[in-house]
């Protein structure tokens, strides 16, 4: 992990060398970083060389080569330098490594309830930013009753396991112990109402003991063909 000064210097050198092969002078580096002496720059450059971010080229004055950029740094799309390409490849590896696997239990009806298909062998890779706390699973949407909520047929929804949810939440509801559906839930006069998000479908009004919440929607992803 680089310090802020090391990172600032590395990026300054990289930006200056993108259009040429001559590194900025130590005085230019010192002024760019607001340091009082060149000795501080010398220590920063040495540290970057030791960590493999810079390489000193022999027999050439001011000869430095940027080997890689800071981890997590996103180079400009028009930056085709070797250092930028190396950094993009490294970031891709880190992104893949950070993905989390959650079970894909099958297809859930967003129109007519269907029996849940639970297959523990199927997994999907999800960025951590799409997950909340607790346990999660994924379901494939089958139907169009939730399109006004932005949930389309073929989408994959990410569900956070829970057994209760406030009114207005989109939930996975198990009906009569065998049918599962994705709907918005509300309570009205002692009844549980499963509300679609499509005017072509009607609300489903049920006794509370017929409905069991199995999770709530927290995110989704869509594949375009």
Q: Return the structure tokens found at 101.
A: 């696997």
Domain boundaries, the chain: 4-96, 100-221
Return the CATH number of the domain spanning residue range 100-221. Answer: 2.10.109.10
The string of DSSP letters for 132-199 reads: -SS-EEEEEEESSTTGGGT--TT-EEEEE--S---TT-EEEEEETTTEEEEEEEEEETTEEEEE-SST
The whole-angstrom separation of Cα 134 and Cα 100 is 13
The whole-angstrom separation of Cα 137 and Cα 139 is 7
Which residues are annotated as catalytic?
Answer: 145, 183
Task: Give the per-residue pLDDT at 212.
Answer: 93
Return the CATH number of the domain spanning residue range 4-96. Answer: 1.10.10.10
pLDDT tens sequence for the chain (225 residues): 789 999 999 999 998 888 776 888 899 999 999 998 889 999 999 999 999 999 988 766 568 889 988 877 888 888 888 888 887 776 665 555 557 888 888 788 766 554 455 556 678 877 777 777 888 988 989 889 999 999 999 899 999 999 999 999 999 999 988 888 999 999 999 999 999 999 999 999 999 999 999 999 999 987 665
Task: Give the per-residue pLDDT at 166.
Answer: 96
Task: Give the per-residue pLDDT at 114.
Answer: 47
């Amino acid at each position: 992990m680089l310090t802020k000064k090391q990172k600032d210097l590395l990026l300054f050198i990289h930006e200056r060398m993108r259009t040429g092969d001559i590194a900025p002078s130590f005085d230019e580096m010192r002024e760019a970083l607001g340091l009082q002496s060149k000795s501080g720059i010398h220590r920063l450059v040495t540290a970057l060389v030791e960590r493999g971010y810079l390489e000193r080229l022999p027999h050439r004055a001011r000869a430095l080569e940027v080997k890689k950029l800071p981890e997590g740094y996103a180079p400009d799309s028009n930056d085709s330098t070797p250092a930028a390409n190396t950094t993009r490849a490294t970031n891709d590896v880190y992104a893949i490594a950070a993905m989390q696997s959650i079970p894909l239990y099958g297809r859930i009806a967003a129109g007519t309830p269907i029996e849940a298909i639970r297959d523990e062998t199927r997994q999907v890779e999800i960025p951590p930013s799409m997950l909340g706390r607790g346990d999660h699973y994924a379901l494939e949407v089958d139907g169009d009753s939730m399109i006004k909520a932005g949930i389309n047929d073929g989408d994959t929804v990410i569900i956070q396991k829970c057994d209760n949810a406030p009114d207005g939440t989109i939930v996975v509801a198990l009906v009569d112990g065998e049918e599962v559906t994705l709907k918005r839930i509300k309570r009205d006069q002692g009844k549980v109402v499963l509300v679609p998000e499509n005017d072509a479908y009607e609300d489903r009004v049920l006794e509370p003991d017929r409905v069991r919440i199995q999770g709530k929607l927290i995110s989704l992803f869509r594949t375009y063909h």
